[in-house]
């Protein structure tokens, strides 16, 4: 099997030291990206770690495919314990960081401990330096990127940065890279904030070569030539379609379609798109740099999920208002899905849907934890009782679109996901809309034959997150091509994907997660039977736990703690 190469670099913020360790054996079994990060996190973070404490660790990792020249590989992964879900979680971002990260020569960079003062950590192929940056306290993501470029000549493609959201430990703060690309889900920006790390830069020329077979050129050529709607309007291509089949959450999940969808849909976004946008090496170029000529507002996106959270779910029908919310989240470093849904929860409690001035004010208040923003910064799971609204989360994570009340298999996938309500964990929805060939499609209703498919998709997505491959490669990466790219049997890859899911599950079981957490806040026909089938197929216990003895240890504190 191809795998990422290079030692693990461990950065200890408390002692301001760094050391490297050869982990070749681990790399041979765990590919890279999410698989590598999950294995390291499982074995090196104490099971009872406080997500916002010094003992939590973050693992940044790329995969072998970052050594290709192929489309769909401009991504990388970070893993740690989430302050939003309280479970082990990997988050994935596009942009241009992944190849600059490989230049450091490390397979993974581990961030542990806690700094006494706000710092930027500079990771290069020659070592690690710590720069105190008290003047950057509460600086926005864009201001911080400007500082790094001015002072160090490093563009934002070399950086991960947090905004005020991360510094103020908003539970859904993102880690931003390439300015506007987000490791969005699960609040790992708050973990960096708790560790007093404003930014990390990655730079160097010590790439370890990994030979990638010629099929990469075929895939790249097809991606370049494809006449695909995502090239025009990215993920927002989904909006009108999801609205039509009643899978577009609206008015804080009280409705499944939105009368103002046209004003925030794919056509509205395409009208505002003013140039091509992409990630490193990707000819598919699905990103959405948008500009409103009248106000001069520029942002990247909004993506479909942002259109849902700050559009239909907040009762907003003008794309420019959604663009503004998107831009604020990027500047402050907040996950647009969780931020938008949480704002929508507040709008529901105050009967203020569509009040765009209030929405934009709330985003700022959340980032700085001012007034009611301090409450909302905790996320819906922790504050829904105070607001008097229903708890629209799974494992504490706010929902994306692709509503499981209509797409029942996606509903099951939201429930089983170790990450909580995240559509990219299994990505079942294309099979139910359907956006796949008829013979692969499923009826929207019910769970018949769906649990094994949920498992297969969870496993293959774990491999894509480890490769690291963008999920939008769906139409281009067949099982045979994946085998060829990674020089491994497809079934063996699925088995490794399953191992990653089980490692996450095992870690979370030690923190108290079980079947009672695998739920959704609505009825799905035959749900309990589907869940039982899922556990059986996974080889887990009927209570949603991984059988004793499959993984070692009840506590996993590493030797240096
Ligand atoms: S398909 Fe889109 S998101 Fe994926 S790597 Fe290419 S440009 Fe980035």
pLDDT tops 80 at residue 179: yes
| pLDDT band at residue 559 using 50, 70 and 90 as cut-offs | very low
- By the 8 A CB rule, do 108 and 98 touch? no
Give, rounded to a whole angstrom, the gap between the first and last alpha carbons of the chain: 33
Rounded to the nearest angstrom, the distance between the alpha carbon of 248 and the centre of ligand 1 is: 23
Q: What is the pLDDT of residues 189-225, one digit of tens each?
A: 999 999 999 999 999 999 888 999 999 999 999 999 9
Q: What is the pLDDT of residues 96-138, one digit of tens each?
A: 999 999 999 999 999 999 999 999 999 999 999 999 999 999 9
- By the 8 A CB rule, do 142 and 179 touch? yes
Please identify, by atom number, the ligand 1 atom nearest to the C-alpha of residue 472. 1
| pLDDT band at residue 343 using 50, 70 and 90 as cut-offs | very high
**Nearest one of 429, 458, 455 to 444, comparing CA atoms:** 429
Type and span of the H or E element at 480: helix 479-486
User: Which residues fall within 8 angstroms of residue 512, CB to CB, at 6 or more apart?
Assistant: none
Q: Is the CB of 72 under 6 A from ligand 1?
A: yes
Rounded to the nearest angstrom, the distance between the alpha carbon of 371 and the centre of ligand 1 is: 38
Q: Cα 237 to chain center, whole Å?
A: 20
> How confident is the model at residue 14, as a pLDDT?
97
- Please name the residue whose Cα sits nearest to atom 5 of ligand 1: 72
Q: Is the CB of 123 under 6 A from ligand 1?
A: no
Specify the pTM.
Answer: 0.96
Q: Tokens for 323?
A: 């663009």
Mutate which of 177, 222, 282, 427 to test ligand 1's pocket (most atoms within 8 Å of Cβ)?
282
pLDDT tops 80 at residue 556: no
HSE value, Cβ hemisphere, 13 Å, CA-based, for 206: 15
Q: What is the pLDDT of residues 376-403, one digit of tens each?
A: 999 999 999 999 999 999 999 999 999 9
Q: What is the pLDDT of residues 419-461, one digit of tens each?
A: 999 999 999 999 999 888 888 899 999 999 999 999 999 999 9
Please identify, by atom number, the ligand 1 atom nearest to the C-alpha of residue 73. 5
Q: Is the CB of 278 under 6 A from ligand 1?
A: yes
Q: What is the pLDDT of residues 506-539, one digit of tens each?
A: 999 999 999 999 999 999 999 999 999 999 999 9
**Nearest one of 173, 196, 195, 200 to 56, comparing CA atoms:** 195
> How confident is the model at residue 553, as a pLDDT?
58
Mutate which of 69, 284, 303 to test ligand 1's pocket (most atoms within 8 Å of Cβ)?
284
Q: Positive or negative, the Cα torsion across 511, 514, 516, 520? A: positive
Q: Is the CB of 339 under 6 A from ligand 1?
A: no
Q: Is the CB of 74 under 6 A from ligand 1?
A: yes
CA distance 475 to 477: 6
Q: Is 374 exposed, middle or buried (0-12, 13-18, 19+ CB in 10 A)?
A: middle
């Amino acid at each position: 099997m191809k795998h990422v190469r290079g030692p693990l670099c461990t950065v200890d913020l408390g002692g301001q030291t760094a050391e490297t360790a050869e982990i070749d054996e681990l790399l041979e079994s765990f590919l890279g990206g999410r698989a590598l990060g999950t294995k390291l996190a499982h074995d090196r973070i104490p099971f009872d770690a406080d997500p916002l404490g010094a003992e939590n660790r973050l693992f940044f990792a790329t995969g072998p495919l970052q050594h290709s020249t192929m489309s769909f590989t401009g991504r990388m992964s970070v893993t740690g314990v989430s302050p939003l879900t309280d479970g082990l979680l990997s988050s994935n971002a596009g942009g241009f960081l992944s190849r600059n990260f490989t230049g450091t020569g490390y397979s993974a960079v581990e961030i542990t401990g806690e700094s006494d003062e706000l710092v930027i950590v500079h990771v290069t192929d020659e070592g690690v330096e710590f720069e105190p940056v008290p003047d950057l306290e509460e600086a926005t993501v864009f201001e911080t990127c400007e500082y790094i470029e001015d002072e160090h000549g490093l563009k934002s493609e070399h950086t991960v940065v947090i905004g005020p959201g991360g510094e103020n430990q908003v539970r859904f703060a993102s880690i931003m890279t390439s300015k506007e690309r987000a490791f969005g889900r699960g609040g790992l920006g708050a973990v960096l904030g708790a560790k007093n790390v404003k930014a990390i830069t990655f730079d160097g020329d010590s790439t370890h070569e990994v030979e990638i077979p010629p099929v990469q050129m075929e895939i790249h050529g097809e991606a370049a030539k494809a006449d695909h709607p995502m090239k025009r309007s990215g993920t927002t291509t989904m909006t009108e379609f999801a609205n039509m089949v009643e899978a577009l959450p609206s008015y804080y999940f009280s409705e499944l379609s939105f009368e103002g969808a046209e004003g925030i849909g794919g056509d509205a976004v395409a009208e505002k798109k003013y140039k091509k946008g992409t990630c490193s090496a990707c000819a598919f170029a699905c990103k959405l740099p948008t500009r409103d000529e009248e106000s001069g507002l520029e942002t990247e996106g909004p993506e479909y999920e942002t259109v849902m959270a700050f559009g239909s779910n907040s009762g907003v029908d003008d794309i420019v208002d959604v663009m503004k919310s998107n831009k604020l989240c990027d500047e402050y470093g907040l996950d647009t899905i969780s931020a938008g849904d949480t704002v929508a929860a507040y709008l529901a409690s105050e009967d203020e849907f569509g009040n765009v001035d209030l929405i934009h004010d709330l985003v700022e208040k959340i980032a700085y934890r001012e007034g009611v923003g301090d409450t909302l910064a905790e996320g819906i799971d922790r504050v829904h009782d105070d607001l008097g609204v229903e708890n629209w989360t799974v494992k504490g994570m706010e929902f994306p679109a692709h509503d499981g009340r209509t797409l029942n298999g996606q509903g099951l996938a939201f429930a089983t996901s170790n990450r909580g309500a995240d559509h990219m964990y299994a990505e079942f929805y294309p099979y139910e809309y359907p956006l796949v060939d008829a013979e692969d499609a499923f009826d929207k209703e019910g769970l018949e034959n769906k649990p094994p498919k949920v498992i297969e998709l969870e496993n293959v997505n774990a491999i894509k997150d480890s490769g690291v491959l963008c999920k939008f490669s769906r139409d281009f990466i067949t099982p045979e091509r994946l085998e060829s790219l990674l020089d491994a049997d497809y079934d063996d890859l699925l088995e490794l994907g399953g191992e990653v899911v089980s490692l996450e599950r095992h870690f979370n079981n030690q923190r108290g997660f079980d079947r009672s957490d695998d739920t959704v806040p609505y009825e799905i026909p035959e749900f309990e039977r589907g869940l039982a089938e899922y556990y059986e197929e996974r080889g887990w216990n009927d209570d949603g736990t991984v059988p004793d003895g499959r993984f070692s240890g009840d506590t996993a504190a590493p030797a240096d703690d």
